Amino acid sequence: MLEADFVIVGSGSAGSAMAYRLSEDGKYSVIVIEYGGTDFGPFIQMPSALSIPMNMSRYDWGFSSEPEPHLNGRVLATPRGKVMGGSSSINGMVYVRGHSHDFDHWAEEGANGWSYADVLPYFKRMETSHGGEDGWRGTNGPLNIQRGPRKNPLYSAFVEAGHQAGFELTDDYNGSKQEGFGAMEQTIFGGRRWSAANAYLRPALKRKNVKLINGFARKIVIESQRAVGVEIEARKKIQVVKARREVIIAASSINSPKLLMLSGIGPAAHLRQHGIEVVADRPGVGQNLQDHMELYIQQESTQPITLYSVLNPFSKAIIGAEWLFFKTGLGATNHFEAAAFVRSKAGVDYPDIQYHFLPGAISYDGKSAAKSHGFQAHVGPMRSKSRGAITLRSSDPWATPEIRFNYMSHPDDWEDFRHCIRLTREIFGQAAFDPYRGKEISPGSHVQTDEQLDEFIREHAESAYHPCGTCRMGRADDPRSVVDPECRVIGVEGLRVADSSIFPRVTNGNLNGPSIMTGEKAADHILGRTPLAPSNQEPWINPRWQVSDR
Rounded to whole angstroms, how far apart are CA atoms 254 and 471? Answer: 10
For residue 501, give every residue at least 6 positions away whose Cβ sits within 8 Å of its Cβ, in sequence order, or none. Answer: 252, 253, 256, 257, 468, 469, 470, 471, 482
How far apart CA 392 and CA 282 sit, in angstroms, is 14
Vertex 55, ends 296 and 517: CA angle to 5°? 75
Query: What gap in Å lies between CA 212 and CA 7, rounded to an integer?
Result: 10
Residue 474 known to bind ligand = no
Q: Is 44 annotated as a binding residue?
A: no
Is 9 flagged in the annotation as binding? yes
Ligand-binding site membership of 15 (annotated): yes
Whether 7 has a binding-site annotation, put simply, is yes
**Is residue 133 annotated as involved in ligand binding?**
no
Residue 440 marked in a binding site: no
Is 483 within any annotated ligand binding site? no
Give the integer Cα–Cα distance in Å for 128 and 537. 19
Residue 279 assigned ligand-binding role: no
* 8 Å CB contact between 468 and 257: no
166 marked as binding residue = no
Dihedral angle computed from the Cα positions of residues 319, 432, 377 and 92, in that order, rounded to the nearest 10 degrees: 40
Is residue 21 annotated as involved in ligand binding?
yes
Is 33 labeled as ligand-binding? yes
Other Cβ atoms within 10 Å of 40 Cβ, number: 11
State the DSSP string of 329-373.
GGGG--S--EEEEE-SSTT--S--EEEEEESS-B-TTSS-B-SSS
Per the residue annotation, which of 99, 378, 419, 466 is the catalytic one? Answer: 466
Cβ contact 62:398 at 8 Å: no
Q: Annotated binding residue at 91?
A: yes
159 is in an annotated binding site: no
Contact 5, 30 (CB under 8 A): yes
Residue 466 bears catalytic tag: yes
Q: Is 32 annotated as a binding residue?
A: yes
- The answer to whether 31 is a known ligand-binding residue is yes
> Which among 470, 377, 369, 359 has a CA at the least distance from the CA of 420?
377
Q: Is 51 annotated as a binding residue?
A: no
The answer to whether 93 is annotated as binding is yes
Would you say 367 is a known binding-site residue?
A: no
DSSP for 460-479 reads H-EE-S--B-TT-B--TT-T
| Strand residues in 253-348 grouped as ranges (E) | 265-266, 280-281, 293-301, 338-342
State the distance between the two ends of the chain, measured CA to CA, in whole angstroms: 61
Give how far Cα 4 sits from Cα of 28, 205, 389, 497, Å.
8, 14, 33, 18
26 labelled as ligand-binding?
Answer: yes
57 is in an annotated binding site: no
Measured between alpha carbons, how far is 280 from 117 in angstroms, rounded to an integer? 33
- Give the SS3 label for residue 439: strand
481 annotated as belonging to a binding site for a ligand: no
Strands (E) across 401-549 are located at 402-404, 437-442, 462-463, 495-497
Tell whether residue 56 is among the known ligand binding residues.
no
**Is 140 part of any known ligand binding site?**
no
> Which residues, other chains included, contact 384 with Cβ-Cβ below 8 Å and sequence gap of 6+?
290, 291, 292, 293, 407, 408, 410, 413, 416, 506
Residue 5 is assigned to a ligand binding site: yes
Residues in binding site: 5-34, 83, 91-94
Residues in binding site for FAD: 5-34, 83, 91-94
Q: Which residues are catalytic?
A: 466
